Amino acid sequence: MRLPIAAGWGLVLAWLGAMACDGSGAGERPAGAPPMYYADATRKGVPFSKDPSVVRFGGRYLMYFSLPPFAKDRVPEGGPRGWGIGIAESGDLTRWEKVAEINGVQPCETNGICAPGARVIGGRVHLFYQTYGNGPRDAICHAVSGDGIRFERDPSNPVFRPSGSWNSGRAIDAEVFESGDRLIMLYATRDPTMSTQMVGAASAPMGSDFGRAAWRQEGDGPVLSPELEWEMPGGKACIEAPSVCRRAGRHVMFYAGGYNNGPQQVGVAESADGLRWRRLSDRPLLPNGEAGSWNASESGHPGIFEDSDGRTWLFFQGNNDGGKTWYLSCVEVVWREGRPVVLGGRP
């Protein structure tokens, strides 16, 4: 038996706070902003949305993203603590409207939840997300939905956290994808000192319920660690937010290098089995914008999405004020000799 997500005030408030991707209701649209330029302002009073993950389901596009804690003067009576997850829908991948929120209800979610990773499996939306605010105790949770809006949580949550002397026991930024007869989960973790962020892997049988008992950690170390200069700006080493699609018989991972506003930028790697990865370039595929642009502080936390027509879109977060605001956008990715290329250069 799975536990239902409490809707309550969150679903009502979501309608009141809905806004289009052109930034209406969330401040002035800056010159040079891309066609898709979305953020929700209900919680902080300024545009602030992060960590996009997009699926096509039920005849429309659904985007799951992180919502920040409420500003002190905006907390509604009975409102949630900490971070939450927003759900927005669209008919064209450009104009988005928030339609719901998911907030913490299980004991492990008391301090907040965020960084959703959505995947359609067996005609249902599976959402893998992280707890937040628990330091090295943060872990991955799982919920499923038949309509993409109302989710039932796994009663065994959290379903995964890593073990071993190479990591701190923390797992965030989950991404899942099918590989043969198993579902592979990539996640970000840190070394025991909590200073270096890297990507690890786990797997579960495709026929399982993806609950805690189903997951097995893969290997005794990370599958991708920060090595390049741009992955450790300011000497702070970080690889996180893996997002995977399949192309020409291989898995392709888009990942974030550098901590937020370091700047964070997007790199790319490939793998035949989903566990052994190699970078396709020593330079970021999607860099932060030039000085004065809307994403000058970073282009981060990628979410790759392949549409039913075969076109591929790379969603990401950005800002130009060091993280006082956050917007979500996307660029189209085309494939040349099996390698991804961002159309139009800098977004």
For residue 19, the model assigns a pLDDT of 30
Query: Dihedral through CA 57, CA 63, CA 69, CA 74, nearest 10?
Result: -90
163-222 pLDDT, tens digit each: 999 999 999 999 999 999 999 999 999 999 999 999 999 999 999 999 999 999 999 999
- Copy the structure tokens of residue 272: 């035949």
Q: What is the tally of structural domains in the chain?
A: 1
- pLDDT over 90 percentage in the chain: 87
pLDDT in tens, 106-152: 999 999 999 999 999 999 999 999 999 999 999 999 999 999 999 99
The pLDDT value given to residue 5: 39
In the chain, where does DSSP find H-type helix? 9-16
**Domain contains 29:** yes
Mean pLDDT of 59-69: 98
- Per-residue pLDDT tens over the stretch 5-17: 333 333 223 322 3
In a domain, 347, yes or no: no
- Closest by Cα among 148, 27, 9, 10 to 88: 148
Contact 121, 183 (CB under 8 A): yes
| Residue 81 banded pLDDT, cuts 50, 70, 90 | confident
Mean of the per-residue pLDDT values of the chain: 91
pLDDT digits (tens, 9 = 90+) for 39-51: 999 999 999 999 9
Cα–Cα separations (whole angstroms), residue 183 to 102, 162, 177, 294: 24, 16, 6, 36
pTM above 0.85, yes or no: yes
Whether residue 162 lies inside any domain: the answer is yes
Q: Is 108 exposed, middle or buried (0-12, 13-18, 19+ CB in 10 A)?
A: middle
222: Cβ–Cβ under 8 A, 6 or more apart, which residues? Answer: 166, 167, 189, 198, 199, 200
Structure confidence at residue 7 (pLDDT): 34
Confidence of residue 20 (pLDDT cuts 50, 70, 90): very low
pLDDT in tens, 96-109: 999 999 999 999 99
CA–CA separation, 249 and 314 (whole Å):
19
Residue 55 lies in a domain: yes
> Would 243 be classed as within a structural domain?
yes
Question: Residue 124 is part of a domain; what is its CATH number?
Answer: 2.115.10.20
Residue 162's pLDDT band, with cuts at 50, 70 and 90, is very high
- Is residue 296's pLDDT more than 70? yes
Report pLDDT for 345: 53
The yes-or-no verdict on residue 36 having pLDDT over 70 is yes
pLDDT tens profile 176-191: 999 999 999 999 999 9
pLDDT category at 344 given cuts 50, 70, 90 is: low
Containing structural domain, residue 337: 3-342
Strand partners, 201: 186
Model pLDDT, residue 295: 96
194 in any annotated domain: yes
pLDDT at 28: 66
| Residue 212 domain flag | yes
Q: Is residue 81 a part of any domain in this protein?
A: yes
**Between residues 342 and 13, which one has the greater pLDDT?**
342
Rounded Cα–Cα distance for residues 185 and 211 (Å): 12
